Structure formats: C-alpha cells, structure tokens
Chain A
Amino acid sequence: DAGITQSPRYKITETGRQVTLMCHQTWSHSYMFWYRQDLGHGLRLIYYSAAADITDKGEVPDGYVVSRSKTENFPLTLESATRSQTSVYFCASSLGTSGFEQYFGPGTRLTVT
C-alpha cells in the first residue's frame, strides 16, 4: 500500500520555466491539498480539491495551476516559475469527513534559479 506519493522529490529549474509536481494517492480519498512550507510561514494552502473536477483556491494560489481529472492524482503546475516559488511542496489527502485528518506525502523540494 503506497499511500500518498510525490514526484519528483527534488527539482531544480530556471526562472520562467514551467514545472509540474505530481501527487498520487491510493486511498481513494475525496479531498486533496497542495501546501508550500517556508521558514517563518508554516504550511500555506495553495489549492485544494474536494473531488475529481472540483478545485478551489487556497491562501496563496497566484502563479499555480491545478487539475484533478482522476480521484487519485492532483498535479500542481507552476506556469512560469519565479524565485519566490522556491520552497518545499507537500501534497495531502483526506476523507473529508469526521475529524478531517490529512495524510501528507514526503514533499518535493523545488529550487528556482
């Protein structure tokens, strides 16, 4: 049981390039989330999805695009990467019921040069 996986784990890209971070979960959880984690800012929600084909903005959505054509996948695309998007990105999933617990992937460390 793989749970929730993210790829790549590390990525270096140049300013202006498009980059896509992948997230895959095997639990059939309805909800999926993308966060970025930066020193001094904690976990900030970028986008989330309540189900396939339903997505909504979080706290810091500018410069990011998401899609969710299948329940198990939730890719995050940086359309034109900027240095301010250098961060560690975490994907999470949740049943969206009861205690609303979220289960996190191992993260992708992205560096934009």
Chain B
Amino acid sequence: TQLLEQSPQFLSIQEGENLTVYCNSSSVFSSLQWYRQEPGEGPVLLVTVVTGGEVKKLKRLTFQFGDARKDSSLHITAAQTGDTGLYLCAGAGWGGTSYGKLTFGQGTILTVHP
C-alpha cells in the first residue's frame, strides 16, 4: 500500500510570510500532483510534476518533485489571504492495481491572516 504523508497538518501564518508544505513517501511515484480545495468545493488541480528533480512555478507557488520521485514540496512566497485553503498532494502509481489511481496525502489546512 502506497502512503503519502503531508506536513504540517495545520499552518496558520500572517499575510506576507513564506511557507513550505511537504509530502513524503517511501514509495516511488510516476507523477505527483498538488490540489487546492476551498470550503464547499471539490479539489482543484494546481500542478503535475513528472520528472525527478523537476521544479515548476505558478506565480508565487513553487513545486518541486524529489530526485527519487518519493517526495515533493510546495513553497508559497509572500502568502496572501486568498491562499487560504486545504492543500492536497497526490501520487500516481506505476501500474498493476495502482494504475490510474491516485494516493492522496491527508492534506494541509493553510490559514493566512490579514
């Protein structure tokens, strides 16, 4: 069974601060995604990383896939109140019974205070 551990579980910061969320596993994933979910809505895909060591930037958000494809991080620079939400990482397996399915982390609840 593949597991993804996210940390921290909760993050409460002031507007303008930087933060990093981590997603770790002992399993190797073919790709890893980050989603953001707001209250009352479904998760929305932010980014997919596929290559070990890959770094992607989405405005103030920087996503990194570990060299060994077992971990990932999400860094937010100068957080804004609009960044508040639940952040989920999810890894895609290589095949067999894992094909097509994602393993989700437990999520990080981010609250950015004005």
Q: Distance in Å from the Cβ of B90 to the closest Cβ of chain A?
A: 8
**CA distance in complex: A33, B105 (Å):** 17
Interchain CB contact under 8 A, B100 and A48: yes
Residues of chain A within 8 A (CB-CB) of B106 are 41-42
Nearest residue in B to A42 (C-beta to C-beta)? B106
Interchain CB contact under 8 A, B50 and A99: yes
Q: Report how many residues on chain A are interfacial, defined by Cβ distance under 8 Å.
A: 23
Residues of chain B within 8 A (CB-CB) of A31 are 100
Interface residues of A (CB under 8 A from B): 31, 33, 41-43, 45, 48, 50, 58, 90, 92, 94, 96, 98-107
- Please list 28 pairs of residues, one from A and one from B, whose beta carbons are closer than 8 Å in the complex, sorted by A's number: A41-B106, A42-B107, A43-B104, A48-B101, A50-B100, A58-B101, A90-B42, A90-B43, A92-B42, A96-B99, A96-B100, A99-B33, A100-B30, A100-B100, A100-B101, A100-B102, A101-B33, A101-B45, A101-B48, A102-B33, A102-B45, A102-B90, A102-B102, A103-B45, A104-B35, A104-B42, A104-B43, A106-B41
